[in-house]
Amino acid sequence: MTRSTTPSICLKSIQKAYGATVALNGVTLELKPGEVHALLGENGAGKTTLMKTLFGLTQPDSGSIEVNGIATVIASPRDARAAGIGMVTQHFSLVKTMTVAENLALAEAGLVRVNLAEARRTVEGAAARYGLEAPADAVVAELPVALQQRVEILKALAAGCKYLILDEPTAVLGPKDVDSLLGVIARLRDQESMSIVLISHKMKEIERVANRVSVLRRGSVVASTAAEGMTPKQLVALMVGGDGTEPVVRTIAVAKERAAVVLALRGISIKRVIGGLDDVSLEVREGEILGVAGVSGNGQSELVGVLSGILRADSGNLEVAGSVLGDVTPSMLYRAGVGMLGEDRHASAVQHLPVVENLVLDQLQTVTRLGHLDRGAMAQRCETAIREFEIKATPDQHLGTLSGGNMQKVLLARLFSRSPKAVIVSQPTRGLDVVSTRYVRSLIAAARDKGTAVVLVSEDLDEVLELADRVAVMYRGRVVGIVHAHGLTRERLGEMMAGVS
């Protein structure tokens, strides 16, 4: 193993903003030869944007990239590949109807004719050297996900890549496949001296293979350190940030035990190898925010799925205002007074419809007179919403032309206009600029103060600690603890998130 001190790849002061939202704020990252560099951080912290920059999928506003000490412009994935950089995302770019060997032959750069024999040799060689076994003549569509992922890695190897970016490669794998992938990663590093960027939320994996760990928060590198000797607990502490010991102070009333339970989950389980839920029980009371924290991929999105009626639980009950709902559907929850703000705001609103129509889309019966839309009432409601929620848009503006913050305000205005008993808000400020973030949080707090029961699912710990009255921590599909926010420290929260009970 040769480890020179000059970095192979150096990203220097990378700056990238989308409108008012700063995605990367002067990020500098070094990737040394023969190292596995783990990149940690909540979703939306900028990891993917940073890697997209390195792979030529997006251009930085400022900053530079050096490959082997030479300043290199990477304007497209083609440039990236020419510089020896390969990337495996969660969405594979394979021709599914072709065989493994055919896919590899297609990937080899500068090829005039398809050389299947060589592609087969690549497959055999990789199997022998790195344990990266894949059936050369099998059709890709018929392979399980784990094998398709190997084909993606093989493609990068066949194209002669020296640097590999793996974007959450283990998120789609079962435990056995994770094991063998980590083995492959270690062999590529040790035998080929490849440099690998590993984006992952799983501390155990990072502990096993990473040489270095960098943590991104809100577009900045907040920590970069050698991984040797780091325990999962220390890694989470890095992610959580701060010195972690000062407790949260809550001035508003904490004990709301006397308030009525509005929404309750009792023993919810979903049996799956990846992304299951295990006996989850939660209660949210009137006028309370229950924060749900956890490292990404520990069951939070499944929990939101159950709470919004999209995912069916294998066992357990969902109760709204004391009555059990059987066979939960989204419209049933809607009628029961449970509102939902999904994490993907673009998919939650009709981009090509104007603000005024989007605002009433979930409550059309209230603006209908004899089958006709009551345009006057709609306009009035829209004006009220624009004023109350400080939405910077005209009623007739198509939603797709609004900024993320204003789009989120429209969705919140729609959500709260029905005076729901309970709301589930998932990643409410992801990708928003500072001003919008502050405003959206104040709206959620205001709803709580008016008596709404709120479930806040967020990977942003600052957000959870700022808003939540109680915090439920999820780890591997279980709720490992529910604690009062008053007196809670980041350190304690970090321990729980790392699975330390």
Partner 1 sequence: MKPRFVLRAGNPWWRGPLLVSLAAVTTFVITAALIRWSGGNPIAAFRYMFINPLQSKFGFTESILSATPLVFTGASVAIAFRAGYWNIGAEGQLLAGTVGATWFGLHAEGLPPAIAAPGILLAGATFGAAWATVPALLRARLGIDEVVTTLLLNPVALLVITGLLNGPWRNSETGFPDSDVIAESAMMPVVWPDTRVHLGLVVGVFVTLGCWWFIGQMTGGLRLRAVGLSPGAARIAGLHVERTLLTTALVSGGIAGMGGASEIAGVAHQLTIGISSGFGYTGVIVATLAALSFIGSLVVALILGIINVGSFSASRALSIPSTMGEVVRSVLLITVVAALVIQKYKIVWKRREA
**Binding footprint of partner 1 on the chain (CB under 8 A):** 59-60, 64-65, 73-76, 330-331, 334, 340, 342, 347-353, 357, 361-362, 364-365, 367-368, 371-373, 397-398, 400-401
Residue 202 beta carbon to partner 1: minimum distance, rounded to whole angstroms? 30
Closer residue to partner 1, CB minimum distance, 67 or 238? 67
Residue 352 beta carbon to partner 1: minimum distance, rounded to whole angstroms? 5
Closer residue to partner 1, CB minimum distance, 372 or 387? 372
Closest CA to 168 of 200, 212, 190: 200
Give, as one character, the DSSP assignment of residue 135: -
Closer residue to partner 1, CB minimum distance, 33 or 404? 404
Closer residue to partner 1, CB minimum distance, 231 or 351? 351
Residue 145 beta carbon to partner 1: minimum distance, rounded to whole angstroms? 22
Give, as one character, the DSSP assignment of residue 192: H
Based on its alpha-carbon atoms, the radius of gyration of the chain, rounded to whole angstroms, reads: 25
Dihedrals phi, psi of 87, to nearest 5 degrees:
-140, 135
Tokens representing 120? Answer: 């087969």
Q: What angle do CA 195, 498, 28 make, to 5 degrees?
A: 35
Residue 393 beta carbon to partner 1: minimum distance, rounded to whole angstroms? 10
The b-or-e profile of 39-76 (16+ CB within 10 A means b, else e) is bbbbbbbbbbbbbbbbbbbbebeebebbbeeeebebee
C-alpha to C-alpha distance for 428 and 94, rounded to whole angstroms = 34
In sequence order, what are the residues at sequence separation of 6 or more whose Cβ sits closer than 8 angstroms to the Cβ of residue 352? 398, 399, 400
Residue 59 beta carbon to partner 1: minimum distance, rounded to whole angstroms? 7
Residue 415 beta carbon to partner 1: minimum distance, rounded to whole angstroms? 11
- Asked if 49 and 28 count as a contact pair (C-beta separation under 8 A), the reply is no
Closer residue to partner 1, CB minimum distance, 315 or 368? 368
Closer residue to partner 1, CB minimum distance, 34 or 56? 56
Tokens representing 487? Answer: 């007196």
Residue 28 beta carbon to partner 1: minimum distance, rounded to whole angstroms? 16
Angle between helices 145-158 and 116-130 (to 10 degrees): 110
Residue 60 beta carbon to partner 1: minimum distance, rounded to whole angstroms? 8
Reduce the DSSP state of residue 183 to 3 states and report it. Answer: helix
Closer residue to partner 1, CB minimum distance, 113 or 372? 372
Closer residue to partner 1, CB minimum distance, 191 or 329? 329
Tokens representing 450? Answer: 């008016």
C-alpha to C-alpha distance for 216 and 4, rounded to whole angstroms = 25
C-alpha to C-alpha distance for 66 and 76, rounded to whole angstroms = 15
